[in-house]
Amino acid sequence: MSGRTSKLAAALTVFGALLGVQTGQGLPWAPAVKRSAVKQRPGKPGKPGNGTSDDVEKLIKNSDCVSCHAVDRQLVGPSYSAIAQKYAGQAGAEDRLMKKIKDGGAGTWGSVPMTAHSDLSDAKLKAMVRWVLAQKAANAQAQDRKTYQYKDKDGKSVTLNFPVFVEGSDQKVTKDIFKGYELYNSYCYRCHGQDVTESELAPDLKRSLNQGMTGQQFMSIAMAGREDKGMPAWAGFFSEQEIKQIYMYVRGRSLELVPVGRPPTEGE
C-alpha cells in the first residue's frame, strides 16, 4: 500500500470514528482511535537477530519508533541515548527493555503510555534493545538556535524559534507554515475547528498555546493522544516533521500572525 493510500485509509478510519461523537467531562469528543488502527511502515531489516548495526538501525527507522523517539533528544518519549545512559551497566537491562517494548505501558519516563509491540519477535526485540543501549556515546546534534521576532495581535513582541514569513515579506508564509495549514485543515479541523477556530468538539488550540502549552507538550499530546478524552494518537501516521509543521501553523494562528483561510505563500 502506498503512503498516500495508507494515509487516506487511516483518515477514513478517524473520520468514521468522529461520526460517533460521545460526551465526556462537559465537552463532546470523538472516540479515540488506537495507534494500531494506523498502518505502520514495514521494515526491511535483513536478519535482525544477527544482522549488522546498520540492519537494526534500518529496522528501527522503518518502524513506528521514530514517531516517539530520537537518538539525541526527547520527542514524545525519551531519547535513545537517555535510555542507554539510564540502563548502563544494569544487570537484566536487556530483558526489562524487551518486555517494556513488547507490553507497552507508562510510569518509567512519565505518564504518556508506550504502545505495546506484541507482534515483534524476540530476535527483533533483542537486536533493537542492544542497538538502543549502544547509543550511550551519541552526541546531541547541534540545535538551530536562531530566533525570530514578531509582534502579536496586541502589539507585544514575541520570540519564536522558527520563521513564520519568508524573508523580506510580512505576508507570505514559509513552506513549513503552509504545509502545517494543509495538514491541519485536512485532519485536525474536524475536532478543533477550521483554521484553528473555536469548536464544540475539542479545545481551542489557540487558547491552549496562549495559556502556556509548549511545543514539546503539543507534540507529545498529538503523537501519543489522550484516550480518556477521545484524542487519537497520531504517531505512525504523521512524522515528527509534520507534527512540527502543524504546531508552527497553529502557533502562528494563536498570535494572529497567520490569517484565517489559505495563507499566501512563497511563489505566489
Taking the CA of residue 32 as centre, how many other CA atoms within 13 Å lie in the half-sphere pointing to its CB?
Answer: 17
Q: Is the pLDDT of residue 62 over 80?
A: no
- Residue reference for cell 481551542: 204
Q: In the chain, where does the domain assigned CATH 1.10.760.10 lie?
A: 1-31+144-268, 38-137
Q: Is the pLDDT of residue 181 over 60?
A: yes
Q: What are phi and psi of 159, to 5 degrees?
A: -115, 125
What number is the average pLDDT over the span 198-205?
Answer: 89
256-265 pLDDT, tens digit per residue, is 999 999 999 9
Most confident of 6-15, 23-32, 77-86, 177-186: 177-186
**Confidence bin at 157 (pLDDT 50/70/90):** very high
> What is residue 136's predicted lDDT score, i.e. its pLDDT?
67
CATH code for residues 38-137:
1.10.760.10
Q: Is the pLDDT of residue 223 over 60?
A: yes
C-alpha pair distances (Å), 138 with each of 84, 127, 130, 212: 10, 18, 14, 32
Residue, of 19 and 141, whose pLDDT is higher: 141
Strands annotated E in the chain: 22-24, 27-29, 148-151, 157-160
Q: What is the C-alpha to C-alpha distance for residues 155 and 153, in angstroms, rounded to an integer?
A: 6
For domain 1-31+144-268, the CATH class is mainly alpha
For the chain, percent of residues with pLDDT exceeding 90:
29
Strand pairing class (157-160; 148-151)? antiparallel
The whole-model pTM stands at 0.59
16-29 pLDDT, tens digit per residue, is 433 333 333 333 33
Q: What is the C-alpha to C-alpha distance for residues 117 and 119, in angstroms, rounded to an integer?
A: 5
Contacting residues for 202 by C-beta, under 8 A, at least 6 apart: 27, 29, 30, 191, 192, 193, 231
Q: What is the C-alpha to C-alpha distance for residues 51 and 69, in angstroms, rounded to an integer?
A: 22
